[in-house]
Structure 1
Amino acid sequence: MILLEHVSKLFQTKNGVIKAVEDVTLHVKQGEIHGVIGYSGAGKSTLIRCVNLLERPTEGKIYIKDKEITRIPNHELREVRKKIGMIFQGFNLLKTATVYDNVAIPLKLLGFHSKEVKARVEKYLSIVGLEDRHFAYPSQLSGGQKQRVAIARALAQEPEILLSDEATSALDPETTDSILDLLLKINRELGITILLITHEMHVIQKICDYVYVMENGRVVEHGTSIDLFTRPTHPTTQKFLNTIAQRRISSNLISQLNLSGQVLRLTFVGESTGKPLLAEVSQKFQVKPNILAANIMELKNGIVGNIVIHLVGKEGDTQASLQYLRSQGVGTEELGGSE
C-alpha cells in the first residue's frame, strides 16, 4: 500500500545542508497500522509529509498502491492525494465554521453534490461520535472533540490511507486513549491503512502492528511491536521503552538494598505471562527470586510482561533456573543499573 525506497530529504540553509531524512525504506501493507517514533528533530514529520509529497524527497522513490508517485504529473498526483487523508496535532479547523461546515467545505470544494456532502458529513460525524455537535463551533469543543472533527474531515473524502502527524500529542492521557480507540475502530471497520508518527511509546503500544524508530533522520531499528517491546537493540528504542516500563533498577537502589548476586530482567511474552514460572523455579531449584519491580503491557497483537528480580542462590542453581526460564520462552538479561 505504501512503499518508500531509500528516501532522503535535504534542506539547504545558510549554515549548510541539513539531512532531515536519510536513506529511509519502509513498507506498510494494506490494512495495517505502522508507527514511526522518535524524539524531536528525528525527521518524523518530514518523513510523513514525503508520503503524500507535501515535501518532495531529494532522493528515493515513493509508491502508493504500486504507483510511483514521485514520477507522476501534478494532475495525477491530485487524484492520488484524494485517497490519502491526513490529521495533525493542531487540528487545523476553521474557527468561524461549525463542526458540520468544517467537514463539508472540503467536499464542496472538490465538487461533490450537496446531497452527497450531507450524507458523508452525517455518516462520518456519527462514526467519530459527534452526531449531536453539528452546529457547535471549535471554540465550544474540547481538544479531543476537535481532533474527532479533524478525523471526520479526513474520512469524509473516503481515503484508503490515513496519515497521522502527532495527532494525540496535545491531548491528555484519557483523551489520547479515546482517539487511539477511534483509530483502531477506523482501521478495523473501514479497512483504512494508517501510518502515524509520534514521540509517545504508549501510542505505539496500543495500536501499531509494526514500528520504525528514527534518530537523526535515519531509521535505527524496526520490527513488529512485539519484537521491539521484547528485544530492543538500539539505545534510543530502549530509552523509549523505559518511559512506560520498569526495565532497569538504578545502581543506587541496588547499593541501598545491599543486593549481592544477580539482578535480572525477565521478559514474558504471550502465554508465558500467565504461568507461575517464578514459583516453579523456586521449587525446582535451590534459588529464591526476590521481585524488585514488575509490569504487564497489553499491545495490539499480544501481551508483554517485565519483571526485575534479585536471584539468590548458588551459581550452578541460578544458571540452571535461568536455563529453565529460557526453555519456557522467557527472555533474561542481567542488569547493571541505570545510567
Structure 2
Amino acid sequence: MIVLENVSKVFPAKNNEVIAVDKANIHVKKGEIHGVIGYSGAGKSTLIRCVNLLERPTSGKIYINGEEITSIPPHKLDNARRKIGMIFQGFNLLKTATVYDNIAIPLKLIGIDKAEVKARTEKYLEIVGLADKHQSYPSQLSGGQKQRVAIARALAQEPEILLSDEATSALDPETTESILDLLLKINEEFGITILLITHEMNVIQKICDYVYVLESGKIVEHGTTIDLFSNPQKPTTTKFLGTIAQRNLSPSLISQLNLTGSVQRLTFTGDIAGEPLLAEMSKRFAVVPNILAANIIELKNGVIGNLVVHVAGEKEEVENALLFIHEQGVGTEELEGQN
C-alpha cells in the first residue's frame, strides 16, 4: 500500500547540505498501522511529508497502492493525493469557519456536489463524535475536539491512506488516549492504512503493528512492535522504551545492593507472561530468585512482561536455571553492576 524505496531528502545549506532523510525504506501493507518514532530533529516530519509529496524527495521512489507517485508531474498530483488524508499536530483549521464548513469547504473545492458534501460532512462528524458541534467555531472547542474535526476533514475525502504528523503531541494524556482509540476504530471499521510519526512511545504501544526508529534521518531499527519492545537492538530504541516502563536497574544501584550471583533482565512475551516460571525454576534448581523490578506492557497485538531478577546460588545451578528458563521462551540478559 505504501512503499518507500531508498528515499532521501537533502536541503541545501549555506556551508553544507542537510540530509533530513537518508535512504529510508518503508513498506506498509494495506490495513496496517505503522509508526515512525524519533526525537526532535530526527527527520520524522520531512519523511511523512515526502509520502504525499508535500516535500518532493531528492532521490528514491514512493509507491501508493502500486503507483509510483514520485514519477507523476507536480501539476498532475491532485488525483493521487486524494487517496491520502493527513492530520497535523496543529489541527490546521479555518478559524473563521464553523466545524461543518471546515469539513465541507475542501470537498466543495474538489468539485463534489452539494448533496454529497452534506452527506459526507454529517457522516464523518458523527463518526468522530461531534455531530452536535457542527455550528461551533474552532475557538469554542477543546484541543481534542479540534483534532477530531481535523480527522473528520481528512476522512471526508474518503482516502485509502491516513498520515498522522504528531497528531497527539499537543494533547493531554486522557485526550491522547481517546484520539488513539478513534484512530483504531477508523482503521478497523474502514480498513484505512495509517502511517504515523511520533516521539511518544505510548502511541506506538497503543495502536501500531510495526515500528521504525529514526535517528539523524536514518532508520536505525525496525520490526513488529512486539519484537522491538521485547528485544530492542539500538540505544535509541532502549531509551524510548524507558519512557514507558522500567526495564533496567542502573549499574550503580545494582552495585549498591551488594548482590552476589546474577542479575538478569527476563523478558516474557505472549502467553508465557502469565506462567509461574520463576517458581518452577526455584523448584528444579538450587537457586533463589528475587524480583527487583517488574512491569507488564500491553501492546496492540500482545503482552510483554519485564522482570529484573537477582538469581542467587552456586554458579552452575544459576547457569542451569537460566538455561531452563531461556528454553521456555523467556529472553535473558545479564545486567552490569553486580559484584
Aligned to 2:262: 262
Determine if the alignment matches structure 1 residue 201 to structure 2 residue 201.
Answer: yes
2:330 aligns with 330
Q: SS at 2:260's partner residue?
A: coil
Per the alignment, residue 46 of structure 1 pairs with: 46
Q: Paired residue for 1:253? A: 253
Tell me how far 1:255 sits from its aligned partner.
2.8
Letter paired with 2:124: Y
TM-score w.r.t. the length of structure 1 is 0.98
- Compared CA separation, residues 13 and 325, structure 1 to 2 (3 A): same
Determine the C-alpha separation between the residues in 1 that align with 2:337 and 2:99: 52
What is the CA-CA distance between 1:75 and the residue it aligns to? 4.4
Aligned partners of 1:19, 1:112: CA distance in 2, in Å? 40
TM-superposed CA distance for 1:74, in Å, is 3.1
Question: Distance between the aligned counterparts of 2:314 and 2:245, measured in 1?
Answer: 29
Indicate the residue corresponding to 2:100 in structure 1: 100
Aligned residue pairs, count = 338
Whether the 8 Å contact between 1:248 and 1:337 is mirrored in structure 2 is no
1:130 corresponds to which residue? 130
**CA-CA distance at 1:277 after TM superposition:** 0.7
Partners of 2:143 and 2:15 in 1: CA distance:
38
- 8 Å contact kept, 1:122–1:131: yes
Contact 1:164 1:196 in 2 (8 A): yes
Detail structure 1 runs of 4+ shifted over 3 Å in the superposition.
none
Aligned partners of 1:85 and 1:163 also within 8 Å: yes
* DSSP-derived class of the 1:211 partner: strand
Post-superposition shift, 1:337?
5.2
Does residue 118 of structure 1 match 2:124? Answer: no
Match of 2:275 in 1: 275
Kept in 1, the 8 Å contact 2:255–2:337? The answer is no
Helix, strand or coil at the partner of 1:129: coil
Amino acid in the other structure paired with 2:321: S
* Alignment of 1:233 onto 2:233: yes
Distance 1:96 1:204, change over 3 A: same
Cα distance in 1 between the residues matched to 2:15 and 2:164: 31
Is 2:11 the partner of 1:11?
yes
Once the two structures are superposed, the pairs formed by residues 174-185 of structure 1 within 5 Å of their partners are 174-185=174-185
- Structure 1 counterpart of 2:34, which letter? H
Residue by residue, what CA displacement relative to the aligned partner does 1:150-196 show, whole Å, maximum 9, x if unpaired?
00000000000000000011111111111111101000000000000
Give the AA of the match of 2:217: G
Residue 189 of structure 1 pairs with residue 199 of structure 2: no
**Counterpart position of 1:144:** 144
Hey, what's the Cα distance between the residues in 2 that align with 1:7 and 1:41?
17
Whether the 8 Å contact between 1:249 and 1:337 is mirrored in structure 2 is no
Deviation of the 1:284 alpha carbon: 1.2
- Measured after TM superposition, the shift of residue 253 of structure 1 is 1.9
Structure 1 CA distance for aligned equivalents of residues 207 and 15 of structure 2: 40
Alignment of 1:161-180 (within 5 A): 161-180=161-180
Could you tell me which residue of structure 1 aligns to residue 23 of structure 2? 23
Q: Deviations over 1:313-336 (max 9, x none)?
A: 111111111111111110000111
- Distance in 2 (CA, whole Å) between partners of 1:254 and 1:323 is 22
Task: Determine helix, strand or coil for the equivalent of 1:54.
Answer: coil
Distance 1:37 1:337, change over 3 A: farther
CA contact under 8 A between 1:205 and 1:298: conserved in structure 2? yes
Structure 1: which 5+ residue stretches go unaligned? none
Deviations 1:99-123 (A, max 9, x none): 1111111111111111111110110
Shift of 1:97: 1.1
Q: Is the 8 A contact 1:35 1:210 kept in 2?
A: yes
Alignment partners' CA distance in 1, 2:255 and 2:16: 48
Q: Give the Cα–Cα distance (whole angstroms) in 2 for the partners of residues 261 and 58 of structure 1.
A: 54
**Counterpart-to-counterpart distance in 1, 2:97 and 2:15:** 42
SS in 2 for 1:281: helix
In structure 2, how many angstroms separate the alpha carbons of the residues matched to 1:252 and 1:75?
61
How much is the aligned-residue C-alpha RMSD, in angstroms? 1.2
What percentage of residue pairs aligned between the two structures are identical? Answer: 73
3-state SS of paired residue (1:212): strand
2:173 maps to amino acid: P
- Identify the residue that residue 57 of structure 1 maps to in structure 2: 57
- State how far apart, in whole Å, the 2-side matches of 1:322 and 1:267 are: 12
1:206-225 → structure 2 map (5 Å cutoff): 206-225=206-225
Per-residue deviation, 1:72: 1.3
The answer to which of 41-50 and 66-75 deviates more is: 66-75
Name the CA distance, whole Å, in 1 between partners of 2:251 and 2:265.
Answer: 14
